[in-house]
Amino acid sequence: MNRDAAITAVKGIGEKTAALFGKLKIETVGDLLAHYPRDYVQFPVAKEPSELSEGETAAVIGRVLKTPLVRQTQRMPVTMTTVGDADAPLELVWFRMPYIRSQLAPGGTYVFYGKVMKKNGRLVMEQPVIYKREQYAAMEQAFLPVYALTGGITNNQITKAVRTVFAGDPLFPDPLPAEIRNECRLCEYNYALRQIHFPDDMDTLITARKRLVFDEFFFFILNMQYHKEKRVRDANEFELKNETFVDELMQRLPFALTGAQQRALSEIRCDMRGPYTMQRLIQGDVGSGKTILAFLAMADASHSGYQSAIMAPTEVLARQHYATFRQLCEDFGLKIPVVLLTGSMTARQKRMAYESLQLYPNAMIVGTHALIQEKAVYDNLALVITDEQHRFGVRQRETFAAKGCHPHILVMSATPIPRTLAIILYGDLDISVVDEVPAKRLPVKNCVVHTGYRPKAYSFLEQEVRAGHQAYVICPLVEAVEHMDLENTTDYVKKLREIFPPEIQLGLLHGQMKPEQKNKVMEAFLANEVQVLVSTTVVEVGVNVPNATVMMIENAERFGLAQLHQLRGRVGRGDAQSYCIMVNASQSRTAEERLLILNRSNDGFEIAAADLKLRGPGDFFGIRQSGELQFALGDIYQDAAVLRDASDRVQRLLAEDPELVSPEHVNVKRYMERAAQEQENQLSL
């Protein structure tokens, strides 16, 4: 089956189902195969009821002695039965599933899979999945994929579709030269694809993942370096005044810049007056004050009569930058026009913004991807800035730069990446590191707790809200996923509505929402119309909400340390003391030790280095580091060695064949271009 074929080419997928797959960005067979499992379920050996213990997710083999009882409560029907004996009974309960009664024959033996809890002194399993003995025996100890889902699509549908494609025995060309595969001991591409979806065992899963991660890193770095070699350094055609204007602005700030901020600003100002146009990355920890550096650089350009533009990854963040820059201009008495341009603006608002780009040659322009649309024509653009660099692709950055005549380029990232990895990932940029936080900010107080602490945590959240503050609650999933015992935002909001009084307003935010929905929720949170925001990790690149003082992270053990630090950076941005509560639902001692690193330190670069040392192949059942560049499988911390290998092979390949024209490299070049385009498409959605 051709990987470019529409998803409807897969047997059993019609137009209606294809539309649902489209919500997951799956439109072709290739997209389906690249929709890798987010986790795996390994079904345990079935136990006897007497072997069970509270808190475990288990499979229990039991004989149904009598027909289950169905009780009709005021709210719902409840189906119950008991397996085991008088010495070790296990109560089974199903809510709103009265049909279970007819599925369980008295005297029949079944396997029940679910989480074991203790209620009123008895062991109980709620909503267990039912299997026949022979059915469960076939699955026992197998690795079954668990995919990211959307409404209307089940895990079984995706699994079945992928199996259907593989049943046709597709054979795709291996994009890597055999020499590189052999040197790096990488498995064949088609084998890796099959094993990442349906691994035979842990060893083959690790082998498959390593190969596909190598491909992601290799083609990303190859694309970057290939175009870098072709790029000629542009002469700096902008004449900026060598006055004390920026120094005077710094003196009038209500706070002193840190030493790291001053160094970075000095490097920016030097670049903007150097012989070549600037291409610089500002890598600063959360809360380190990168936004004020962007403003001062843009003010520097405006003072010399040039336009500057900053592109934010979300509309809410763009609007916040716009408000901040306007306020700063007013505070400093600067007659600099500040222009906003975003996708959701009305046609009239956009038309006025486009006119402003032509009317004001020294404007500060703030926006989202709308800044690089065809209708946005600039008059005198000397400086372009992208905020949260990892949210934009290389081509998008180049498109932004092409809006001017070889403008200076400044990119900013809050992801604390160890310098050795940053040089690889941002090889086409000079790097400035802002590794200090403003002195006036109080360090966030951290605590790592187990699930039994939740009632106290909820009371603390309510106490902070009643004191006029706000809180985030982070869950790893959008909605419940079969066989994954993790918290999800959809159910968590419902649970908190039952716990908190009605005057406390709750908000829900996740990546499957439409942009306008996300903007509306974040604006309500910013305005304190929502006091507790239940969200997935989409808030890690968020707006500045100084009033938010509590971050509660559920299933904290499932995230990388660097991402947890990114999330924690959403609080502690005001004058009030802030707190981060990390709920560890694991019994693992290793998980506890990892989280204690965050408990001890608020230094993102120190945490990134620790993350780099601690994470290994055994961690890849956790939820992927989503804060860095948009790799489907790769994690720059966990896979740092693979990243370095891929970088080394790229350097050697381009040294031997800079144009990628030799016969054995034609397929490499084709795949590089395809991979780059796919990444750009994903980033633009």
Is the pLDDT assigned to residue 492 strictly greater than 50? yes
Is residue 63 within 8 Å of residue 48, measured between CB atoms?
no
The pLDDT score that the predictor gives to residue 632 is 82
Residue 113 bridge partners (DSSP):
59, 129
pLDDT tens string 14-38: 999 999 999 898 999 999 999 999 8
* Closest among 230, 132, 167, 218 to 29, alpha carbons compared: 167
Q: What is the CATH number of the domain that holds 133?
A: 2.40.50.140
Same domain, 504 and 591: yes
Rounded to the nearest 10°, the torsion over CA 362, 364, 367, 371 is 20
Compute the distance between CA of residue 613 and CA of residue 143 in angstroms, rounded to an integer: 27
Compute the distance between CA of residue 572 and CA of residue 83 in angstroms, rounded to an integer: 51
Same domain, 338 and 359: yes
Pairing of β 77-84 and β 69-72: antiparallel
Range of the domain at 403: 245-434
Tally of domains within the chain: 4
The pLDDT score that the predictor gives to residue 628 is 41
SS3 content of the chain, % helix, strand, coil (to 5): 45, 20, 40
Same domain, 415 and 512: no
Same domain, 279 and 413: yes
- Its pTM stands at 0.69
Q: What is the CATH number of the domain that holds 319?
A: 3.40.50.300
Same domain, 7 and 115: no
Same domain, 81 and 113: yes
Same domain, 33 and 128: no
125 versus 143: the higher-pLDDT residue is 125
The pLDDT score that the predictor gives to residue 680 is 60
Rounded to the nearest 10°, the torsion over CA 248, 272, 403, 425 is -110
Percent of the chain past pLDDT 70, that is, above it, reads: 93
Assess if residue 192 is contained within a domain.
no
638 versus 147: the higher-pLDDT residue is 147
Same domain, 420 and 301: yes
Compute the distance between CA of residue 653 and CA of residue 8 in angstroms, rounded to an integer: 38
Q: What are the CA-CA distances from residue 281 to residues 366, 388, 431, 439, 641 (Å)?
A: 19, 10, 5, 23, 23
Q: What is the mean pLDDT of residues 338-342?
A: 96
Residue 125 bridge partners (DSSP):
92, 116
Residue by residue, DSSP assigns 48-87 as: -GGG--TT-EEEEEEE--SPPEEEE-SS-EEEEEEEE-SS
Assess if residue 189 is contained within a domain.
no
pLDDT tens string 31-85: 999 999 988 888 888 999 999 988 888 999 999 988 899 999 888 999 999 998 8
The pLDDT score that the predictor gives to residue 627 is 40
Assess if residue 621 is contained within a domain.
no
Is residue 660 within 8 Å of residue 207, measured between CB atoms?
no
Assess if residue 136 is contained within a domain.
yes
Same domain, 281 and 426: yes
Assess if residue 395 is contained within a domain.
yes
pLDDT tens string 213-240: 999 999 988 988 887 776 677 899 999 9
* Closest among 284, 414, 307 to 371, alpha carbons compared: 307
Nearest-5° angle of CA 29, CA 34, CA 37? 120
Angle, nearest 10°, between helix axes 640-656 and 202-230? 40
Same domain, 19 and 48: no
- Domain end among 575, 601, 627: 601
- Domain end among 601, 635, 663: 601
Assess if residue 215 is contained within a domain.
no
Assess if residue 205 is contained within a domain.
no
Assess if residue 627 is contained within a domain.
no
Same domain, 492 and 424: no
- Domain end among 140, 156, 179: 140
Same domain, 408 and 472: no
pLDDT tens string 645-681: 999 999 999 999 998 888 888 889 888 888 777 666 5
* Closest among 85, 25, 101, 24 to 52, alpha carbons compared: 85
